[in-house]
Each structure stands twice: as structure tokens, then as C-alpha cells.
DNA sequence: AATATGTCTGTAATCGATTACATTAGTGAT
DNA sequence: ATCACTAATGTAATCGATTACAGACATATT
């Protein structure tokens, strides 16, 4: 049972003081070459590893970033996490993951992560934070160490990285219009979500721009998830006057929608054109392959991490680029086609 | 700029010593009711939060679990992470996430997480660790604080949680046989993976048990991912003698396989029956809905976390239940049917 | 009354690294 | 020879909580 090596032990082996060890490791340029090499050698010999808790205590830093998700189980986030990780890892930061619901369920507050030194910064993917939680964040001294990604807060201007939801939604609907559709339905995301609103409003805008009247009965509540797609498909099939095309707020909705249509012999894209949003991995391999707006999830994660780190370094409090909007791309596959008749 | 409250400040407000504050918070039963209430009140008034770094340093614990994934971007893990989180969070543990590749790329070692006090335990999802990394883990004094999940190491007996891969694969193939298939192909997972081997060997075993000869040309290399499904579909379509059914090592393979078949007018399930493994969320909503073996991903995550925590509490070094095998369920949907003719 | 027992609380050492400040030695200028 | 300055290193305080140990007090026992 070898006891853990501490900086004192290394100092003894290298024949220098602990201060020199510390300096040689964290700021090599200030010690002489000879010492530096001796220290490195001693570190190797002893197998020394800095004790993070001690370092964190002394420096008041954790080198850890909290990633706050509304729902860890949603596979939409996995690639985003990967993007974040590719930026954080080489820079020596660790990634802590938590879920909005779990934090409040545990009686904790979001800013506790700052207050108790668990995290130096956070990337928040939940635009639906409680009013109170949001206010705490705005008023926190660590205000600058927070970046929103994908979603954002309407009443606070944190830096944020997001996809071009409005342009994307407009383009998606336009794609349907250009194919000749006039009867275009929309399945919304969850109530109160900023993405839901942005995409829905753009749907309305695109229709208005082309003088297509809005039909309330073709606007459906949903929640980004599979089940809402299935449910809406059932509703639509019962309608007397059906739309000929549907713009879904997410690919998951679109897939489940198509699936339910297929089961009931409603042909996609011929009888019903369907376009999604996200371009999840499976979209390309769905049957029929899904036409959708691609979000660069890896890039979103990377950008969010980059911005956060650069803000944490500067700490100017001033920021030139508060909102980064990532491009989205229309990917035309097989689930959209001109209307039949 | 309010400076952070420390335990001293609370002590002053409550009119007791720091020791009492600490005790009242971490071991309430040892202080009198009156003091306890006074302390709680003082904590509320001051807005005190324990400094984790200080606590971690003193207690030599981090209350953090490292979750090591082979690939963060793989959505297969998201529900597992959620399962882990639901166990860890209420017990006051945080979840740190890292990727095998990133750690070595950063020149770090897995056991550094123990050595430098970043994690008290780890759940490893990668059965393909380097020999060296694996050996370090086996020899580490924290051997007991490691649990494998989904995958496992062949040459070391860490506790592990996994699905009944062998039984599941046998059942999957049997399902095809019972439908009347005799020409059954298999698309394997990545080379050298323990799951690949378990599922492949079971495929062979199931065929042998039913006296169906193994046809080498119907065994395909793959890698759990979408592209290998597409590629194998193309290969099969070019064959003179085609199988009538295919057992895929993952749902992703199966979906992409079916997708490619559909594009080329090979009818699933009529011309080709396909069964997957995993039951990813989309399986149910695929077209046709995918027949597959369900793995309880949420449960896997939960179990892994439970076992790890209980081992960390006991620390007996002895373990009655080393390997927990989670049930898998055959979910018959629409991608399998009897062979045509 | 003296002693034992138990309950509660306080004092101060401790965890291990970082860093402000002090010190030393070496170089070059005057 | 003295001074100014730089470069390299050492000494010791510090970060903030936990906890071993000791002490104070109240109650029970003999």
C-alpha cells in the first residue's frame, strides 16, 4: 500500500524546495534549465501527481466546467458533448454533467456549483430555467463564466451559441412552398421553449410572406419527442381536410410521424411531405431518408466551449460577440416531394 | 462584490465554534437540537456553502465519479448516463465524463483521476482499454472503486454490469430460426470488442444447436455504426445466393441496412428479415418497426452506479456478486417474418 | 461527597499545493 | 569597491473545512 507522493517528497528527491517544484511544474520558464530537468526527473522517479483538491483550494479554481442539460437521456446532446469535450480536454478542463431537474430535486441551486468551487464555468443548454434560478445567475459574480448553448434566456443577455433557428425554419417551410405545397402544417416543440417559439414564428412568417393563410387547425402542440409525432399523425389522419406537407420542429417528431403514416398506408412523400429539424444521425438512414435542416451539433459544442474558455481567460466583462449563430443547412432527401393531384 | 462566506463567518453568527458548525452540517445527531437549529439559521442568514475543495482536501474524497466512455458522441450512452445520474445525484455524487481516447491524447493516465483526487470511483464502459492502462487499474489501490458496465475486461475480474448478450443473441437467432429461416447472416460489431465476440459466438452456437451449417460468406465485419449496415446491404445485394434473414449486432447497423435495402427495393421483412440488438428509442418508430433485443439501458446505468457506491461504502474487498447480468427481452415488431417461397 | 458516565462543545492540528515576500548569488556599471 | 539590477531559490503564510483530543457540565452511581 504505497502512500501518495506529495510535493514535499519530490522536493526531497530533487534537492530543492517545494516552491521550486511547484514553479517548475506550473510555470517552467521561471526556473533554471538544470533545476527544471532535475524536478522533472524527480517527478518521474516518485510518480508524483498534484493533488487537485489542494491546488483547487489554494488557487480557488477547479478547472472544471459544468454542462447543464435539460435531459441527459436525450441523444441529441451526445454529439454536442463530444464537441465540448474536444475543446476542454486538451486545455486541461474536466467536464461535469448535471441535469436541471436533478439539481433542484436535490435541493441544490445552480450557482452552488460556483459558490462551492465545483465549477469555474458553465455551459447551459436549458432556456427554461426557473425565474429564480435565472435571476441568481444574472446577479452572480461569475456572470461572465456562463454561456448558453442551443437554447437561451429571453430576459437576460448571456453570451450564447445557437443555430440559425429562424432562418432555418423559414428555409424549411420555403422548401415545401417551392415544391408547390400550400397546405402546410407545423408540429411545435414543447410549450414555452425558445426554440419552439423561434421555429413556430418563422413558420408563420414564411407562410405570410407567400400569402398563404395560416390554418390554426394545422398547428399542433408537440414536444420534440417521438411520441408527439405519432400522436399528431393519428390526428391528421382523422381530419377531413388534410395538409399536404408538415414541418416538424425536430427530426424525432418527423420520424415517428412518418412511421405512423407508413403503418396506415399514408405514403410519404407522395401523399404527405415531411421535413424535420436537426439532422440526427439516423435521418439519413430513415425510410424514406428524412429531409431536414442540419444543425452542426459538434460545432455548437465546440463553439460554446471556446467562447466560455476565452471569456474565462479575458474576464474583461466586455464582449464583442455575444451571440454566435451557427449556420444550418437544408438537406434534401426523400421525405419531401411536390404535392400530388 | 460579496466575498464568499466561510465556516468561520457562520460560526461567528451562530455564536459557536467552527467545529460545531461542521458537525451540525455533516453529522447533525451529535449536536444538541438548540445548536443545530441555531446553526441552520446562521447558514441561512449568511448563505453559507461549504467549499468543496477544502472539504475534499481534508477528507481525501471528491464525491465525484468518473464515467469513462469509448465514445461520448454515441447516443447509445445517453440513457445510460441518465440512469447513472439518477443514482448519483440524490446521494450527493457528481458525474465527471471522459473519453478513453481523450485521456491518452492529453498524455494522462486513467488512474491519475484517482491519484490526484478528481474521482473516488469510476464506471468504465470500455472493454478495450490498453493493456498497460488495464494493468494500472488492476494494480491500483483503488481497485475496488472500479466497476465495468456494458463491456468488460477479459483478463481481469472487476465487478461488472452487462446485458445477457449471449442469451440475447441466441434468442435473436432462434427467433429467426423459429420463423423458418435457415439462411441467416450476421453483421458483427467492431473487431476485438467483447460484445462483438459474445454475440457472434452465440450466433454460431444457435445455428449449431439447430444443425444449421455456418456459412463464412454470410458473416460480415461491422462496427456497431450506421455505415457498416449500409455497406453490408450493398454486399449482400450483389450475392448470388443471399441469406433470407440477418442478425445485426446493433440497431444502428440494422436500421442502415434496412434503409439501403428499401432504397433498392429489397422488401423487409418479406424478402429479408432483419433483427437488431439494443432497442434504441427509434427502433419502435423505424419503418418497418425494428424487431430487436431490448437492453435496459437506464437499468444498466443505475445498477452500475448502485454497485459502485455500495462497494465504495463497504470497501470490504470481498464481493459476493461480481457480475450482474441484466435481462434482455426479445421485442418482436415488423422487420422479421417467415421466409418467402 | 466523591466518582463515573455521557453529552455537548471548543481548540488547534491537519490535508497538500501555491505564492508573497525575503534572500542569495551573479553580472555589469560606475 | 560599491551599487543596482536580475535571476533563481527558499521560507512560511495561506486557502477553508474536518476532526482528534481535551474540557466543561450535568446526571447517575456508590
The overall longest dimension of chain A from CA atoms, in Å, is 89
CB contact under 8 A, B98 and A102: no
For residues A202 and A170, the answer to whether their CB atoms sit within 8 Å is yes
Q: Which 3 state secondary structure label does DSSP give B167?
A: helix
pLDDT value of position A1: 39
Taking the C-alpha atoms of residue B142 and residue A192, their distance in angstroms, rounded to an integer, is 47
Partner-chain residue, chosen from A1, A72, A85, that has the shortest CB–CB distance to B78: A72
pLDDT value of position A341: 72
Q: Is A150 exposed, middle or buried (0-12, 13-18, 19+ CB in 10 A)?
A: buried
Torsion sign across C-alpha atoms B21, B25, B30, B31: positive
Cβ-7 Å neighbors of strand D: A 15-20, 23, 30-32, 34-35, 54, 57-58, 60; B 4, 6-8, 18-19, 21-23, 25-26, 48-51, 54-55, 57-59
Q: All 3 cell numbers of residue B112?
A: 491519475
Q: All 3 cell numbers of residue A147?
A: 454561456
pLDDT by residue (tens digit) across A69-88? 999 999 999 999 999 999 99
CB contact under 8 A, B281 and A75: yes
pLDDT at residue B3 is higher than 80:
no
pLDDT at residue B53 is higher than 70:
yes
Q: All 3 cell numbers of residue A253?
A: 417528431
pLDDT by residue (tens digit) across B55-86? 999 999 999 999 999 999 999 999 999 999 99
Element (H, E) at A303: helix A297-314
Q: What residues contact residue A76 under an 8 Å CB cut-off, 6+ apart?
A: A250, A252, A278, A280, A297, B75
Taking the C-alpha atoms of residue B319 and residue B316, their distance in angstroms, rounded to an integer, is 7
Which nucleotide C1' is nearest A117 CA?
A: D16
- In eight-state DSSP terms, residue A140 is S
Which regions of chain A are under pLDDT 50? 1
Which nucleotide C1' is nearest A59 CA?
A: C18
Element (H, E) at B170: helix B165-178
pLDDT by residue (tens digit) across A26-36? 989 889 999 99
Query: Which positions on strand D lie below 7 Å from a protein C-beta?
Result: 7-12, 14-20
- In eight-state DSSP terms, residue A291 is B
Categorize the per-residue pLDDT at B316 as very low, low, confident or very high, splitting at 50, 70 and 90: low
Is this prediction's pTM over 0.95?
no
pLDDT at residue B319 is higher than 80:
no
- In eight-state DSSP terms, residue B125 is -
Interface of B with A in 44-63 (CB under 8 A): 49-54, 56-57, 60, 62
pLDDT value of position A331: 98
pLDDT by residue (tens digit) across B91-106? 999 999 999 999 999 8
pLDDT value of position B1: 39
Categorize the per-residue pLDDT at B322 as very low, low, confident or very high, splitting at 50, 70 and 90: confident
Report the number of secondary-structure helices (H) and strands (E) in chain A: 13, 12
Location of C-alpha cell 454561456 = A147
pLDDT by residue (tens digit) across B121-137? 999 999 999 999 999 99
Amino acid at each position: 500500500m504505497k502512500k501518495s507522493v506529495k510535493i514535499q517528497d519530490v522536493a526531497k528527491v530533487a534537492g530543492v524546495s517545494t516552491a521550486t517544484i511547484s514553479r517548475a511544474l506550473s510555470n517552467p520558464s521561471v526556473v533554471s534549465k538544470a533545476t527544471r530537468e532535475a524536478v522533472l526527473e524527480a517527478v518521474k522517479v516518485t510518480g508524483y501527481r498534484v493533488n487537485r483538491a489542494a491546488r483547487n483550494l489554494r488557487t480557488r479554481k477547479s478547472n472544471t466546467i459544468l454542462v447543464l442539460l435539460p435531459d441527459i437521456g436525450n441523444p441529441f446532446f451526445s454529439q454536442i458533448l463530444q464537441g465540448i469535450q474536444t475543446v476542454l480536454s486538451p486545455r486541461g478542463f474536466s467536464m461535469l454533467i448535471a441535469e436541471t431537474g436533478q439539481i433542484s430535486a436535490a435541493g441544490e441551486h445552480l450557482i452552488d456549483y460556483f459558490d462551492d468551487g465545483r465549477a469555474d464555468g458553465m455551459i447551459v443548454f436549458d432556456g427554461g430555467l426557473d425565474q429564480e434560478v435565472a435571476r441568481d445567475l444574472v446577479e452572480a459574480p461569475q456572470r461572465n463564466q456562463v454561456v448558453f448553448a442551443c437554447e437561451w434566456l429571453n430576459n437576460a443577455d448571456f453570451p450564447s451559441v445557437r443555430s440559425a433557428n429562424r432562418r432555418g425554419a423559414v428555409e424549411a417551410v420555403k422548401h415545401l412552398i417551392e415544391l408547390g405545397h400550400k397546405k402546410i402544417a407545423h408540429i411545435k416543440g414543447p410549450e414555452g421553449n425558445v426554440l419552439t417559439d423561434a421555429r413556430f414564428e418563422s413558420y408563420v412568417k414564411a407562410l405570410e410572406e407567400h400569402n398563404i393563410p395560416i390554418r390554426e387547425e394545422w398547428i399542433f402542440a408537440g414536444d420534440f419527442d417521438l411520441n408527439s409525432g405519432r400522436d399528431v399523425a393519428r390526428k391528421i389522419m382523422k381530419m377531413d381536410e388534410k395538409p399536404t406537407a408538415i414541418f416538424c420542429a425536430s427530426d424525432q417528431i418527423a420520424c415517428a410521424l412518418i412511421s405512423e403514416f407508413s403503418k396506415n398506408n399514408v405514403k410519404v412523400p407522395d401523399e404527405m411531405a415531411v421535413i424535420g429539424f436537426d439532422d440526427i444521425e439516423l435521418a439519413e438512414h430513415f425510410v424514406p431518408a428524412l429531409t431536414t435542416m442540419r444543425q452542426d451539433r459538434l460545432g455548437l459544442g465546440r463553439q460554446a466551449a471556446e467562447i466560455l474558455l476565452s471569456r474565462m481567460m479575458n474576464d474583461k466583462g466586455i464582449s464583442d460577440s455575444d451571440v454566435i449563430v451557427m449556420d444550418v443547412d437544408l438537406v434534401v432527401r426523400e421525405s419531401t416531394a411536390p404535392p400530388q393531384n
